[in-house]
Amino acid sequence: MEPRKPLDARASSIMLVLCMTWGLQQVLIKATAGDMAPILQIGLRSGVAALLVGLLMLWQREPGMDWAG
């Protein structure tokens, strides 16, 4: 088993951006709750995420994603 490596600057910055994105999403949901229902915002975010994951799977040619035949 390979020993764990310490986090480098790239991994730390990716984690920081990820946490900031999650925090900003919560702020935006609260800020726009008067204009758009929070459940609609969550549904749209989930739909976009599912689409992006599907596109990533197609791009990487994952098994089970071969719709062409």
Instruction: State the total domains in the chain.
Output: 2
Global pTM value: 0.58
User: Tokens 């609260």 sit at which residue?
Assistant: 30
Instruction: Judge whether 2 lies within some domain.
Output: no
Within-domain flag for 21: yes
Range of the domain at 17: 7-36
Q: What is the pLDDT of residues 4-61, one digit of tens each?
A: 888 899 999 999 999 999 899 889 888 988 898 888 988 998 999 999 998 988 888 8
The dihedrals phi and psi of 68, each to the nearest 5 degrees, come to -75, -15
Residues in Cβ contact with 54 at an 8 Å cutoff, skipping those fewer than 6 apart? 65
Q: Are residues 45 and 69 in the same domain?
A: yes
Residues 42 and 66 placed together within one structural domain of the fold? yes
Asked if residue 67 is part of any domain, the answer here is yes
